[in-house]
Structure 1
Amino acid sequence: MATKRVKRNRGEKGVQNEPDIMAKDRISQLPDSLIYYIFSFLPTIHLVRMSRVSRRWRRMWVSTPFLYSDCHFDDVTFTKNVNRSSMFLKFVGNCLRCRKKYMQPDTFIISFKLHSYYKLGRHDAQLVDKWVRFAIESKVKELDLRVQDYCIPQFVFTASSLTQLRFHALEFEVASLSNSSSLTQLKLRPLKLEVPFLSKFPPLKVLSLSYVESNYESFQNLISGCLIIEDLHLQDLNEIHPMHEYLLDIAVGMFDFWASPP
């Protein structure tokens, strides 16, 4: 059992220090599943920092099934000349390299979140493609991307492990969103949506479109392939006119029909 010695001194003259108190390291006693559950709420940068708290955590953060990289380094002090965008990309790259180096063969990813508000260059976009592919190859179930001016690669939509997709970015184009055999949740905001072919999302139960720019054909192709929707959220859809109101009525009617008991 990991322990540490704590000395207590009241600072009174003539009074010697009290005997050492054995303080238990309760963190190291937690089961792996509970530690990973705690990790699921924290950005990866905090996991790296907290690895100093416990020796056990030092090996666990590289195998956590929850990866959350957020470009907000508000509590991190940099020198004035540091490019925060470059530092963020470097940090994510280093974390994934450590994971590849030390993870066990059967390690998988439950959730991969990447939130960046920096404009990407061509090389940066290639890096993001590489990271997303790594998540897909690690059998990721939940993919949450908020990356400005980034186009989702086609291999994302054919990933059999994915059950939840969340895309949130400005000027974000999703083309060829047409097929997914395992997706149960799809949440898009704000982005440009293009669905050139009839979609097929047999198990999709949650669909949320907020501040999405689309057209009549794309919207119809998407809705038509969602047959068992239980939760439908539509907010401020753009450029679907003149059929906008009609489509909303149809969508709500379909939702009421699917959600009503037989």
Structure 2
Amino acid sequence: MATSDDASVDRLSALPEAVCTRILSLLPTKDAVATGQLSRRWRRRWCRLPSIDLDFGEFSAGQVPSWQSQSSYTTFVDLVLPICASRRSLRRVALRPCSGTWQIEIDRWVRLAMAGRQLVALELDFSHLLTPHHLGKHLSGEAPLRVPDSLEELKLKCCVFDPLGFEPFRGVRSLMLSSVSLADAEFLSRFPALESLVIFHCEVKNGLAVRHCRLRWVEMEGISFEPPAAGCPLEVEAPAMEELSLREMKGSPALVVRMGGQLQRLKVENCYFDQGEGGGREDTVGISLEVDAPALCEFRFYGEPGKECCFRAKSPNLDQYLSSGMLASTLFSCLRALTMEVGLVYEELPVMEALLRSSPFLQSLSINIDNFGEPFVRDLSNVDYEVERLEELYGDYWESFKGPIHCLALHLRTIEIKNFTGKRLEDELARFLAANGKVLTKMAVSTPSAIFSGLDFL
């Protein structure tokens, strides 16, 4: 006769197979495999897990890795990975090996993971290793490693990636690279079906060309162009791309976007190029922009702009573009709202004017003035003297050019200026916008505090 305790065990074991698999999938992989000791019925249930996470962190328990924990992890992976990879139920594999793992062992595990018949997602995280793993270079065998056509999502972290060590990633639609060293400028050609690309804090050794006919979303943050790639522009040629976000890029002097007919959202934030050997602030300049994106709807630029700024203009040089008096009505024809975060120093004014001229149907303009840093100031002892002689040195920029700005004359209805402190350039800009906004219905100006108003121009 079964006891009440036996009935409880039987009740759990009698659950539908799908429910048991779901329960196991919610557990850490190490604990899910341990359920094989519960009873004979549970001995092999973990083999049908749709997802396995082989993380060394589960064996070190947040402590300094020991020889015993490393050995236990290696034994565990050698047991679990071959069994799960041989089953059609496996959809996702995450591998985070420990620091003491041999390169040849890691390559063998990668081969086993790639052998999954229906593998959809693969994550390879080598952040526990003391030195970056050369993924693709140390793979044993003469032929490139076969990649399952079912693989749609690939994430790589902390490695040197050599795509030539693999067959083309024909099915991958989403690629995320974090702290990866890229030596092949054309590595995206190995991903013919790619739609989403995310790159975080990666090193570019031989330049980077984002040329792809299917790519739709691109996000890059913290990428650095290292020698011999330093000084090479970031080239983007993706006719299907809808969104491009670029933050904190270093070592490249320019962003060049060609064939951006579908590009609707563009963000460029804090991208700089060191043009000297001293590494000082005076040697650092913002990147130049050459963008072909007639359908752009949202544009955000934050940081110091480069000298050249071209949006489907005939001349890439900003000064030539402005002096020619051109008013290209097709530029940014979909743009209705524009936000600019600027330090409002004299070198930024041509770029601000270029953006206004390139947005003929702009209806809303927001300018956030950053007064916390002045990257263009070379000698702080001469600040007061230069401010007093500003008109003599530069004159009023907004009164010096010729030709109307289309959006101010016909469409711009709302203007917002934040952190206004009454400095000369701020006052001149505010006066110009207020005087030339022919259809302006609202102009809001806010100051950093209620103590200072500085709104004499009104």
TM over 0.5: yes
The alignment yields a C-alpha RMSD, in angstroms, of: 3.8
- Give the superposition deviation at 1:167: 0.6
Output the CA distance in 2 between the equivalents of 1:150 and 1:254: 39
Aligned to 2:53: 68
Aligned pairs for 1:53-132 within 5 A: 53=38, 55-73=40-58, 82-96=67-81, 99=83, 107-120=88-101, 124-132=102-110
Contact 2:48 2:87 in 1 (8 A): no
Within the candidate set 28, 47, 66, 2:13 is matched to 28
How many angstroms does 1:53 deviate by?
Answer: 4.4
Distance in 2 separating the partners of 1:129 and 1:216:
25
Alignment partner, residue 206 of structure 1: 196
Aligned residues: 230
Q: Which amino acid counterpart does residue 143 of structure 1 have in structure 2?
A: L
Pairing partner for 2:219 from 229, 233, 238? 233
3-state SS in 2 of match to 1:229: coil
Whether 1:143 aligns to 2:130 is no
Give 1:31's aligned amino acid. P
Deviations 1:203-253 (A, max 9, x none): 212211001101463x20xx213x223332211001264323623x63995
- The structure-2 alpha-carbon separation of the partners of 1:191 and 1:254, relative to structure 1 and needing over 3 Å to count, comes to farther
Contact 2:35-2:42 within 8 A present in 1 as well: yes
Match of 2:174 among 168, 185, 199: 185
TM (norm. structure 2) is: 0.43
2:134 partner SS: coil
* Partner SS, residue 233 of structure 1: strand
The DSSP-based 3-state class of the residue aligned with 1:207 is strand
Partner of 2:308: none
Query: Given residue 125 of structure 2, which amino acid in structure 1 is its aligned partner?
Result: R
* Alignment check: 8 A CA contact 2:156 2:176 kept: yes
**Contact 2:175/2:197 (8 A) holds in 1:** yes
Distance 1:115 1:69 in 2: 6
- Give the counterpart letter for 2:254 in structure 1: Y
Secondary structure of the structure 1 residue equivalent to 2:204: coil
Change (3 A) 1:157 1:194: farther
Mapped contact 2:87–2:116 kept (Cα < 8 A): no
**Pairwise CA distance, 1:4:** 5.4
User: For residues 210 and 94 of structure 1, do their structure 2 counterparts lie closer, same or farther at Cα, with a shift above 3 Å needed?
Assistant: same
Aligned to 2:254: 246
Q: Is the 8 A contact 2:33 2:46 kept in 1?
A: yes
Map of 1:10 onto structure 2: none
Larger Rg: 2
CA–CA distance in structure 1, aligned partners of residues 79 and 87 of structure 2: 21
2:161 aligns with 174
Distance between the aligned counterparts of 2:78 and 2:57, measured in 1?
Answer: 16
**Per-residue Cα deviation, 1:62-116 (whole angstroms, up to 9, x for no partner):** 23232211101368699x974322221122113245x27xx9x763521111112
The 1:26/1:252 distance shift into structure 2, 3 A limit, reads farther
How far apart, in 2, do the equivalents of 1:49 and 1:213 lie?
A: 40
Equivalent residue letter for 2:97: S
More helix per residue: 1
Higher strand share: 2
Cα 1:108–1:132 change in 2 (3 A) is farther
Q: Paired residue for 1:18? A: none
Are 1:48 and 2:47 counterparts? no
TM-score (norm. length: structure 1): 0.70
Which one-letter code corresponds to 2:161 in the other structure?
Answer: V
1:152 maps to a residue whose letter is L
Between 1:124-133 and 1:183-192, the stretch displaced more is 124-133
CA–CA separation in structure 1 for the residues paired with 2:261 and 2:24: 39
- 1:48–1:258 Cα change, 3 Å: same
In the alignment, is the contact (CA less than 8 A) between 2:60 and 2:66 conserved in 1?
A: no
Q: Which structure is higher in RCO with an 8 Å CA cutoff and minimum separation 6? A: 1
> Are residues 197 and 136 of structure 1, via their aligned partners in 2, closer, same or farther at CA, if it must alter by over 3 Å?
same
Structure-2 change in CA distance of 1:94 and 1:69 (3 Å): same
